[in-house]
A and B are shown apart, each in its own frame.
Chain A
Amino acid sequence: GENVEQHPSTLSVQEGDSAVIKCTYSDSASNYFPWYKQELGKGPQLIIDIRSNVGEKKDQRIAVTLNKTAKHFSLHITETQPEDSAVYFCAATPSDYKLSFGAGTTVTVRA
Chain B
Amino acid sequence: EPEVTQTPSHQVTQMGQEVILRCVPISNHLYFYWYRQILGQKVEFLVSFYNNEISEKSEIFDDQFSVERPDGSNFTLKIRSTKLEDSAMYFCASRGTGPNYGYTFGSGTRLTVV
Contacts and interface: CB of A to CB of B under 8 A. Distances in A.
Interface residues of B, number: 26
Contacts of A45: 105
Interface stretch (A63-71, A73-81, A101-109): A101-109
Contacts of A46: 102-105
A34 B103 contact: yes
Given A97-B50, A99-B45, A100-B45, A42 B102 contact: no
B48 A98 contact: yes
A8 interface: no
Per DSSP, are chain B's interface residues mostly helix, strand or loop, or mixed? Answer: strand
Given A43-B91, A46-B102, A96-B50, A103 B31 contact: no
27 contacts: A32-B101, A34-B102, A34-B103, A36-B105, A42-B108, A43-B4, A43-B6, A43-B91, A43-B108, A44-B91, A46-B102, A49-B101, A49-B102, A89-B42, A89-B43, A96-B48, A96-B55, A97-B55, A98-B45, A98-B48, A98-B58, A99-B35, A99-B45, A99-B103, A101-B42, A101-B44, A102-B42
Interface of B: 4, 6, 31, 33, 35, 41-45, 48, 50, 55-56, 58, 91, 93, 95, 101-108
